[in-house]
Structure 1
Amino acid sequence: MSPLREKPFGTYLKNAINEVNSAQLQSEEATQKLMNGQNIELHDVMITAQKASITMQAALEVRNKAVEAYQEMMRMQV
C-alpha cells in the first residue's frame, strides 16, 4: 500500500481559483443566453448567478483569513 501524497498548497489554491472562474463564466454564459432570447429559464440564470456570487464570497473570505494569518505571523516575536 503506497502512502498518500499530499498536494502542494499552490495546487489547492489554483484549483479553487479555477472553480471561482468557472462559476463566473457559467453565470455570464447563462445571462447572455437569456439576453439573446435563447431557451433558458430565468430561475436557472438566477441560480447560476447566485452560485457564482457565493463562490466568490467564499474565495474572498479565505483570502482575508490567509492575509490575517500572515499578518499575525509577522507580528510574532522570534
Structure 2
Amino acid sequence: MINAISPFQPQSIQASQPLNSQSIQNTQQTNFSQLLKQSIEEVNSMQIKSDEMTSALAAGKNVELQDVMIAAEKASVTLLTTIEIRNKAVEAYQEMMRMQI
C-alpha cells in the first residue's frame, strides 16, 4: 500500500532578520574583490609557472618541450582573457559615464 505524501514541514523555523542594503553591499564588494584578487593571482601563478618551465628547458633540465609549450599557451590564453575582461569593464564604465540622467 502507498502512503500519502505529506507536505514539507521544516523542523525548525528561524526568525529571519531583515537585511539592510549596507550589509548586502559590503558582502557583494567583499566577494567581488576576493574573486578579482584570486583571479589575478591565478593568472600570475600561470605566468610564473610558464617562465620557470621555460628557464628549466633552456638550462637543459629534464623538462618535456610539449609541457613547456602547453604551460606557455595556457598562460598566454589566461592573460589575454584577463586583458579582454579588463577592456570590457573599462568600456562599460565609460558607457555608463556617458549616460545622461
TM over 0.5: yes
1:1-78 aligned within 5 A: 7-78=30-101
**How many equivalent pairs are there?**
74
RMSD: 1.2
- Which amino acid counterpart does residue 73 of structure 1 have in structure 2? M
**Structure number having the greater helix percentage:** 1
Question: What displacement does 1:45 show?
Answer: 0.4
Unaligned runs of at least 5 residues, structure 1: none
Q: Which structure carries more relative contact order (alpha carbon 8 Å, separation 6+)?
A: 1
- Which amino acid counterpart does residue 62 of structure 2 have in structure 1? N
Larger Rg: 2
- Which amino acid counterpart does residue 11 of structure 1 have in structure 2? Q
Unaligned runs of at least 5 residues, structure 2: 1-26
TM value normalised by structure 2: 0.69
**After the TM superposition, which segments of 4 or more aligned residues of structure 1 sit over 2 Å from their partners?**
5-8
**SS of residue matched to 1:8:** helix
Question: What displacement does 1:9 show?
Answer: 1.1
